[in-house]
Amino acid sequence: MAILTTRPRGTNDFLPAETPRWQYVERTLLSTAALYGYGEIRTPTFEHTELFLRGVGDTTDVVNKEMYTFTDKGDRSVTLRPEGTAGICRAAIENGLLGDALPLKVSYVFNCFRYEKAQRGRYRQFHQFGVECYGATGPVTDAEVISLAWEGMQTLGLKDLTLAVNSIGCPTCRAEYHKALRAYFERRREELCETCRERLEKNPMRILDCKSPVCGEIAKGAPRVLDYLCGDCRDHFEKVQTLLKDADIPFTIDAGIVRGLDYYTRTVFEISVPGFPALCGGGRYGGLSRQLGGPDVEGIGFAMGLERLIMVMEQQGCDFPEPQQCDLYIASMGEAAAEEAFRLTTQLRREGYAVQCDLMGRSVKAQMKYANKIGALYSMVLGDSELQSGSAQLKQMATGTAKPISLAHFLPEFETEMQNGWFAAAAEAAEKIDR
């Protein structure tokens, strides 16, 4: 393998032809979050390894098997973030954001790293959009966060979205539930996969999340957490459902959703499309901030994987905005004309037009071919005769029609053209003659 010209497995290059789609998706999601009062946060790509051991939980696959951990030159163990929540909670504590002015509402778009078996839709470097809200414990917050995820995905035009919600209770009611779950799985211990046999000791709820078909089948008959909720947790969950109904957000209750983090409490949810379960997943968590040495503040958040989101949008034929096009290509012949082309190009760019001129020293024919290739709307050729006469031909590429334009008054005349000028009028006149 040519290692110098091959990217590491599970990573992607995002080429200029694709990045406008990414920018659009990121902008749309971040501005939806801004409508809900969420400001963007950016945290380091790597953190102390201990943060993820404590913050994600050492019974999760993410921490056990998938972390990119290395020792730096100062002999410290650092890890590329496998998810966003732990780093954000650390940043919130360190910067004193959990002290007052709660709730704290933050949104993010960044890369995450997991050493997973790379395949379509599963990468070792991937990107997430997500939010975290700290300090608000009531059901309205849960409904607001779910609504934000839902509306963000709706705004992107995703179709056939389904929202599934569940409550996994608080540590008090979960203790009872764990007991019942352990008893149930203990009876089927021999049939469980090796990982789930370990989970049985450490955290039996994780078995409900197992991807193996055998464990999945066994999990179907397991006790349901909803039957073990304490009164407070039941009230909370019922209120969340009422609020979602009031907001016209359709949902189903899925007792199988347990989510990966060790600290989830009460509401958990997933948004899926057919063929892509859990495109977005999130929930409420307690204990994380305290576990990291911060105040006792609850959080709730979600994350969605952007690679998968964009893949689904493309499959579903969702609209993406057109990327910025080239308004004008100025071709030139000779040194003096090339200088004038550069001067005009600079002037027009300052006015906000996307303009290009030759950088390759090509023939005019080759320059025009290039103008065509980049999809320039207009083109113009400058040579000695145009410089002498002070006038050139402005050509509309789509129709091939051209009209003279003054070099001395180029900007105002070009501006008029761009704002529905001569070409549009000519096209209209031609249409009238046709009729």
Q: Which residues bind ligand AMP (CB under 6 A)?
A: 83, 114, 116, 122-123, 126, 128, 260, 278-281, 303-305, 307-308
HSE-CB at 13 with a 13 A cutoff on CA atoms is 7
Minimum distance from CB of 425 to ligand AMP (Å)? 50
163: which strand partners? 271
Which token pair is 330? 């100025």
Minimum distance from CB of 10 to ligand AMP (Å)? 8
Tell me how far apart the alpha carbons of residues 209 and 45 are, in angstroms, rounded to a whole number: 27
Tell me how far apart the alpha carbons of residues 158 and 312 are, in angstroms, rounded to a whole number: 8
Q: By C-beta, is 152 or 281 nearer to ligand AMP?
A: 281
Minimum distance from CB of 281 to ligand AMP (Å)? 4
Report the residue closest to ligand AMP, judged by CB.
305
Minimum distance from CB of 257 to ligand AMP (Å)? 11
Minimum distance from CB of 144 to ligand AMP (Å)? 20
The 3 state secondary structure assigned to the chain is: CCHHHCCCCCCCCCCCCCHHHHHHHHHHHHHHHHHCCCEECCCCCEEEHHHHHHHCCCCCHHHHCCCEEEECCCCCEEEECCCCHHHHHHHHHHCCCCCCCCCEEEEEEEEEECCCCCECCECCEEEEEEEEEECCCCHHHHHHHHHHHHHHHHHCCCCCCEEEEEECCCHHHHHHHHHHHHHHHHHCHHHCCHHHHHHHHHCHHHHHHCCCHHHHHHHHCCCCHHHHCCHHHHHHHHHHHHHHHHCCCCCEECCCCCCCCCCEEEEEEEEEECCEEEEEEEEEECCHHHHCCCCCCCEEEEEEEHHHHHHHHHHCCCCCCCCCCCCEEEEECCHHHHHHHHHHHHHHHHCCCCEEECCCCCCHHHHHHHHHHCCCCEEEEECHHHHHHCEEEEEECCCCCEEEEECCCHHHHHHHHHCCCHHHHHHHHHHHHHC
Minimum distance from CB of 359 to ligand AMP (Å)? 38
Q: By C-beta, is 237 or 269 nearer to ligand AMP?
A: 269
Q: By C-beta, is 154 or 385 nearer to ligand AMP?
A: 154
331: which strand partners? 381
Q: By C-beta, is 105 or 124 nearer to ligand AMP?
A: 124
Q: By C-beta, is 260 or 295 nearer to ligand AMP?
A: 260
Phi, psi of 166 (to 5 degrees): -155, 165
Q: By C-beta, is 204 or 281 nearer to ligand AMP?
A: 281
Minimum distance from CB of 429 to ligand AMP (Å)? 53
Q: By C-beta, is 84 or 204 nearer to ligand AMP?
A: 84
Q: By C-beta, is 236 or 308 nearer to ligand AMP?
A: 308
Minimum distance from CB of 110 to ligand AMP (Å)? 12
Q: By C-beta, is 138 or 275 nearer to ligand AMP?
A: 275
Minimum distance from CB of 124 to ligand AMP (Å)? 7
Minimum distance from CB of 126 to ligand AMP (Å)? 3
Q: By C-beta, is 113 or 410 nearer to ligand AMP?
A: 113
Q: Is the peptide bond before 103 cis (omega within 30 degrees of 0)?
A: yes
Q: By C-beta, is 169 or 305 nearer to ligand AMP?
A: 305
Minimum distance from CB of 84 to ligand AMP (Å)? 8
* CA angle in degrees (0–180, nearest 5) for 114-120-126: 35
Tell me how far apart the alpha carbons of residues 382 and 336 are, in angstroms, rounded to a whole number: 9
